Structure 1
Amino acid sequence: MAGLGFTAVAVLLTSCSLVGEDDAPSSAASEVVLVTHDSFVISDELIAQFKQESGFDLKIKASGDAGALTNKLVLTKDNPTGDVAFGIDNTFGSRALDGGVLAAYEAPLPTGADQYLLAGDDDQRLTPIDNGNVCVNIDESWFAEKDMAPPADLEDLTDPAYADLFVTPGATTSSPGLAFLLATIAEYGDGWDDYWTRLIDNGTLVTEGWTDAYQVNFTQGGGKGKRPIVTSYDSSPAFTVDGEGASSTSALESTCFLQVEYAGVLTGAANPDGAQALIDFMLGPDFQAALPESMYVFPVDATAPLPQDWARHATRPAEPLALDPAEIAANRDQWLREWTDIVSR
């Protein structure tokens, strides 16, 4: 997602699939313009397949992360820069709906996708495309080498035994960072600020984004990180599998917060038919099956196949932490101001 996938890799892949980047909406009926986040990835083969099946050329415009994308859509709602948007997630969905940037479209949903519909979206202006959970991940091998029990839940992260071991991306600069903040609010309610004070006092490192947290500071990342606890995704353990098929990391299911990414037809779209066709294609079996390896997220189609390592190591929480989208919309800015005050002390 914010959206939900491994941003550093996805951005590199995205650069290969962008068809164009200018901001003027196309008036050509043969072209559909997708406005999305920087981590969106689609293969050339799927782009060609979409054109063959629908008759539309696909043009892609990247617009930052999920928050930046949503804000840009609201600011340009009277003069939309595309036909369809993808990458608005459940933490920003209410803002997009309240901003009037999306038109109603009841897409034919695949098996299981209805469970990801956004609460309060009675007109179905947002169609669920993928999902994933932001979770605390631990380096099992590090704790085994230290002969030390790993943390089991959010509260353990404030225990002095785990001082200076946790790294998380910031809530104001990162989609998974915001999701982790929301997870703590869902868990602690009005006491979340006290929890964060204890978390910071225990040596938690806050980075700008997921890449710095996971790839640089996490012990199982791409560098020589020194922190064996990190905010990442429920799919992350599928990417730390050794030659014998075992993963050296795991996600703590009690810490997970569900993220869902949506697509929607933009109000005033020059090509609403093309926008609907693209949403239908993204719900189709080929696009859904490609999601785990292209954007590191789970398909909303319950029948879509998963890579072998995902089926074995990407454990899904039965009851992830959650907040009502309306509550997030009403309090997000205030929560972020309070969070910033705590981590900047």
Structure 2
Amino acid sequence: MFPRTARTVLGLTSVAVLAGACSLSGGDSGGSAGSDQQNPTVTLVTHDSFAAPQDVLDAFQRQSGITLKIVKSGDAGALTNKLVLTKGNPVGDVAYGVDNTFASRALGEDVFQPYTSPEADRGPQRYSVDPEHRLSAVDVGDVCVNVDTGYFASKGIPAPASYDDLADPKYKDLMVAESPATASPGLAFLLGTVAKYGESGWPDYWNRLKANGLKIDSGWEEAYTKDFSGSSGKGPRPIVVSYASSPAAELGQDGKPRTKALLDTCFRQVEYAGVLTGGKQQPQAQKVVDFLLSQQFQATVAANMYVYPARTGVELPAGWATAAPLPSAPGTMAADKIQAGREKWIGTWRSLMGA
């Protein structure tokens, strides 16, 4: 099963619910404020998809003398909202998981303070969204349309390859996507269409998709594991909005992927980490950012979170080069433009789709 679960996009006025906290080694369970300077506890606030090998986390704690406490707080939208709502009394010292679709909101609210990690020049600065370096890129997870290649081979018709192909009548009733109002990949796909067709053209494109029988699900798991024919659920639809890395989880017994990401339909998602303004453990929080950008941690992100490392020169799992190549020219959009247009575009999309 694809390890990166769906991320529900909560409204920015919703109050994110603290999903729970765990201390990875002994120490004060009361948070960073109660730790002593001999063995400080640093609270890392993350999205729910955070995962890393325990031995890598343990090695960092031994080397740094830091007790790392991880608090999971929903998806990228819920996490950002929680950080904004609690900025006067931050719930942690460092945060990871705010992505480029929400970065401008966090930066505009001064949630993060400037910090340039010595590890940042190993690649993460390629994805910088802030001249003050309040956010450091940790990983890249492009959202792309995926197709069940076996389905199209069995039908004797070519698989679609582009945005325009998806609206072709030969693919009527074959595609499923997630709602941009309730799921992160759905939002990324919507942003990709805005980037592709522009402010005036994207609504017409969605009208064409709707007329071509596009099905909308509330989240990634429903779309990918139930409606998509290329996954374990063997659903009825061979076209789905998922991730560029998804084919790496769909290898057959011959080691070849049973699905394919359409690299001309991708929208770049970048996830960031930063030191929280007003946190109690500022120097130690900087060390945690350094760790998230380090070779040791970056080498784990593909296998554990199915995202690409932001650091250059990190070896990917076997098969990713052919099954899950990183798109060379994905759709992109400036973070401030996303912030300015996101809610308006979602509202227009709801009207168009009757959702």
Equivalent position SS for 2:122: coil
Q: For residue 112 of structure 2, what is the aligned residue in structure 1?
A: 102
Q: For residue 127 of structure 1, what is the aligned residue in structure 2?
A: 136
Deviation at 1:312, TM superposition (A): 2.1
Over residues 83-107 of structure 1, what are the superposed CA-to-partner deviations in whole Å (9 max), with x where a residue is unaligned? 0010001111111000111011011
Equivalent position SS for 1:182: helix
Deviation at 1:16, TM superposition (A): 11
In structure 2, the gaps of 5 or more residues are 8-18
- The answer to whether the Cα contact below 8 Å between 1:6 and 1:295 also exists between their aligned partners in 2 is yes
Q: For residue 296 of structure 1, what is the aligned residue in structure 2?
A: 306
Matched, 1:173 2:177: no
RMSD: 2.1
Give the one of 19, 26, 32 matched to 2:33.
26
Give the one of 127, 130, 141 matched to 2:150.
141
Deviation at 1:217, TM superposition (A): 0.8
Deviation at 1:273, TM superposition (A): 1.6
Over residues 215-261 of structure 1, what are the superposed CA-to-partner deviations in whole Å (9 max), with x where a residue is unaligned? 11111122131110011111111111112221111111110111110
User: Percent identical across equivalent pairs?
Assistant: 46
State TM-score, norm by structure 1: 0.92
Matched, 1:76 2:76: no
Matched, 1:86 2:96: yes
- Cα distance in 1 between the residues matched to 2:208 and 2:22: 44
In structure 1, the gaps of 5 or more residues are 10-14
Distance 1:8 1:326, change over 3 A: closer
Letter in 1 for 2:122: T
- The answer to whether the Cα contact below 8 Å between 1:110 and 1:300 also exists between their aligned partners in 2 is no
Over residues 312-334 of structure 1, what are the superposed CA-to-partner deviations in whole Å (9 max), with x where a residue is unaligned? 21122211111111111111111
- The answer to whether the Cα contact below 8 Å between 1:138 and 1:249 also exists between their aligned partners in 2 is yes
Deviation at 1:44, TM superposition (A): 1.6
- The answer to whether the Cα contact below 8 Å between 1:128 and 1:300 also exists between their aligned partners in 2 is yes
- The answer to whether the Cα contact below 8 Å between 1:39 and 1:295 also exists between their aligned partners in 2 is yes
- The answer to whether the Cα contact below 8 Å between 1:171 and 1:181 also exists between their aligned partners in 2 is yes
Matched, 1:158 2:157: no
Letter in 2 for 1:7: T
State TM-score, norm by structure 2: 0.90
Deviation at 1:8, TM superposition (A): 6.2
Q: For residue 12 of structure 1, what is the aligned residue in structure 2?
A: none
Distance 1:222 1:26, change over 3 A: farther
The count of aligned residue pairs is 334
Distance 1:23 1:155, change over 3 A: farther
Q: For residue 63 of structure 1, what is the aligned residue in structure 2?
A: 73
- The answer to whether the Cα contact below 8 Å between 1:17 and 1:43 also exists between their aligned partners in 2 is no
- Cα distance in 1 between the residues matched to 2:328 and 2:30: 42
Deviation at 1:19, TM superposition (A): 3.0
- Cα distance in 2 between the residues matched to 1:231 and 1:57: 39
- Cα distance in 2 between the residues matched to 1:122 and 1:235: 30
